Amino acid sequence: MRVNNIHRLVTEEGDDFRIAYFASPNPSPKPQLPERTLIIHAPTSASVSGAASPYLQKPAKGFLGTSMHLILGRDGKEIIQTVPFHTGAMHAFGYNGRSIGMQLQYPGELLEKGHAFQLRRNYGDNEYILASGLSSSRYGYWPLYPRAQLDSLLAIAMILKEPYNITDVVAKDEVLATTHPGPAFPIIQFREKLLGITDRSILLQETSRNVSLLGQPGEDRTLLSATPIPPGTPVSVINEKDEWYLVAVVEEVGGNPWLIGWVEKSAVRVKTDFMPVVRPDHYLVTAEGRRFQEITPHQNGYEPTKRNVAPKYIIMHFTTGTKMDSTIAHFKSPSAGVSTHLLIGRDGRVVQFLPFDRIAYHCGYSWWERQSNLNKFSIGIELDNAGLLRKGPDGQWMSRKIVIPREHVEQAVHWKQIRSNDPRRFPGWEKFPEAQLQVALNIVKALVQRYPSIVEILGHDDVNLPNRYDPGPLFPLKQWRQELFGREEPDIEIFTINRKTDLFSNIFGRLPNVSQKLHEAMLPANSVVKVIRQDDHLSLVTVLKTSEPKLRRATGWIRTNSLTAAIGGMVKSRKKKKNTDVVEKRTTKGRQQFFRRGKNPPTPKLLEGPFPVGTRVRIQQIKGEWTLVVVLDTVKGRTGLEGWIQTELLSPEVIP
């Protein structure tokens, strides 16, 4: 094969490829940048001609058409080209002006019912793997790509590499929210074979002993390759499930360069002894220049245009999950609206979602020392960890429906929780493995060295006080701060309250509404209410049934967390509207304050108040006559209380 003078792939004498060219009416109008990225696609398709068909149709008026440079069949011989290689194609939003799109004929995830080419029963047990893709943590059955197809794809890419200055190759699901080419496509092997060892090469793991590749986790599962993988073979982890890894073998073994399969975790050595360095382009690499796996989160999860070139804070999180795959899928979801810069696994594996100068949405509503919305000033690091656990029916520790082994759990009290007198009643938290903490600390040190603007390391629980407990009481934040900055405590300015006063709740940073009046009676527990309007903190309700006569049929505001789940179906609004409101009926958990309806939602006082003269606080944010503060003293067994106070009631602390 070769590319002719009009930028089409053609056969040469002796080739047995079947190449056809059908011009797409939908080429990209964008001029191509000098450097190109090869993007691999594999949406579900039964044939090459069927896969090409959408690219040959003109779009309906008002819609953009799609196109693809080339489609390659499963036999590795049948090829259809629809756009010349020097012209852009409409195949990947955000990349059309700097890419070449190549699509593989592929059945997609296998099904129990459907077309014959999609049915799992039509494939041999050694022709598919159990796996989950980047955009979903759900496991399914994915057919392996035929070797002939992958060999041809690599041969074509090699032909295109120099004439079209291909400097990178990505699977579409690495950079966009899609399901293809899926977990069975060997993108790590393909990238290394096409580009060699470059700045796109990632840090690999390796086998620690002879191991066989299986189609699913479990010692009795189908063998995928008769040749065992020898110790020291470089591999890359794709999925993890219980005590098993799905790995891509990044080296030819037994004459096959495209091997993928499941192995026991104990057979893989995850490299954690690397020295991290932050490159000038804000990517993390090893001292030898290898990067870490990069997966682009959904565009809703980060700021698309602004940059943070001088971060002030490092914010530590835990994922509340039990495997990295789930967190990756969450950040790829269009409904999540969040992301982070790094994810570090229990075994020390690292995924980078964004360069460090991009603004990731990892903090939510957040404040620290007179700054708010800390996404703009910080680098977020997620540690794969289940966090706060619950006791299961048999006394085991649980994260959702997953049992966490007792040896991985430690009971401790978060500084925002009220401490029990009996340590046996302390909450359970998943421990951080030593490998994970050491890798994370080395990376944090590299970040502080690269960005002199960083002045503090904080937990998500420090900057989002009402809602967050990560990274939790088992995370060694004080020790890390000592290593980084020579002090265990954060550098803060302390003030005192100069007149006995109440504090008003912080609800999404809104200034307090103190004009709202309370009903003269408290709303009793087990009252039945109709929820009219609800947010995370407050709900507007009408009382349907209560033991307090003064509040029957009354409408007002109560705390959202005081309500049970919906009961007894829905209640329709009595008001005649074109779009009738459908609202939930709930009950109250306990006796509580009940605010009158008024014009705007009220701002409840903190129940721990009023706070005496001399109470120590630090300032979160000043807004004219109101200041948001955090109480530093322990009050009624609670610390970290946050609320609004009149600015004039604060005085700088006098140091004796």
Cα–Cα distance for residue pair 597/507, rounded to 1 Å: 17
pLDDT at 485: 96
pLDDT in the model for residue 64? 85
CB proximity list for 305: less than 8 A, separation 6 or greater: none
Instruction: Look at residue 432 and tell me whether its pLDDT is greater than 90.
Output: yes
Residue 568 pLDDT level (bands cut at 50, 70, 90): low
Q: Is 342:353 a contact under the CB 8 Å cutoff?
A: yes
pLDDT of residue 637: 83
Residues in the chain: 656
| pLDDT tens digits, 272-297 | 999 999 999 999 999 988 999 999 99
Q: Indicate if the pLDDT at residue 572 is higher than 50.
A: no
Residue 97's alpha-carbon distances to 140, 239, 418, 480, in angstroms, are 34, 32, 56, 44
Q: How far apart are CA 628 and CA 646, in angstroms?
A: 9
Question: What is the C-alpha separation between 498 and 653, in angstroms, rounded?
Answer: 10
583: pLDDT confidence band, cut at 50, 70 and 90? low
> What is the C-alpha separation between 562 and 590, in angstroms, rounded?
7
Written as six digits, the tokens of 36 are: 């190109």
Q: What is the pLDDT of residue 310?
A: 95
CB-CB contact of 430 with 404 (8 Å):
yes
Both tokens assigned to 199: 């700045």
Please choose, from the candidates 638, 628, 467, the residue with its C-alpha nearest in 3D space to the C-alpha of residue 536: 467
Task: Identify whether the C-beta of residue 587 lies closer than 8 Å to the C-beta of residue 529.
Answer: yes
Mean pLDDT within 96-105? 96
Query: Residue 567's pLDDT is what?
Result: 65
Indicate the pTM of the whole model.
0.88
Residue 328 belongs to what H/E stretch?
Answer: helix 324-332
pLDDT tens-digit profile of 102-151? 999 999 999 999 999 999 999 999 999 999 999 888 999 999 999 999 99
Q: How confident is residue 534, by pLDDT bands cut at 50, 70 and 90?
A: confident
**Average pLDDT along the chain:** 92
Phi and psi dihedrals of 544, rounded to 5?
-95, -35
> Position of tokens 């029963």?
121
Give which of 43, 52, 41 is closest to 19, Cα–Cα: 52
Section 350-374 average pLDDT: 95
* 573 has pLDDT over 50: no
Tell me the three-class secondary structure of 216-233, residue by residue: CCCCCCCECCCCCECCCC
CA 94 to chain centre: 21
513, 515, 519, 521: CA torsion to nearest 10: 80
Judge whether 624 and 647 are in contact, CB under 8 Å: yes
Give yes or no for residue 159 having a pLDDT over 80.
yes
pLDDT in tens, 505-522: 998 888 998 887 888 899
Cα angle 144, 108, 65 (rounded to 5 degrees) comes to: 130
Q: What is the pLDDT of residues 255-274, one digit of tens each?
A: 999 999 999 999 999 999 99
pLDDT of 330 reads 93
- For the cut 90, the answer to whether the pLDDT of residue 431 exceeds it is yes
Average pLDDT (430-439) is: 96
For the segment 238-245, the average pLDDT, to the nearest whole number, is: 93
pLDDT at residue 574, as a whole number:
47
Could you give the percent of the chain with pLDDT greater than 70? 97
The pLDDT value recorded for residue 268 is: 96
What per-residue confidence (pLDDT) applies to 223?
92
Lookup: tokens for 647: 């600015």
234-248, 249-263, 365-379, 501-515: least confident range: 501-515
Query: pLDDT at position 286, please?
Result: 94
Phi–psi pair at 638, nearest 5 degrees: -115, 145
- Could you tell me the pLDDT band of residue 655, with boundaries at 50, 70 and 90? low
Residue 581 reports pLDDT greater than 60: no
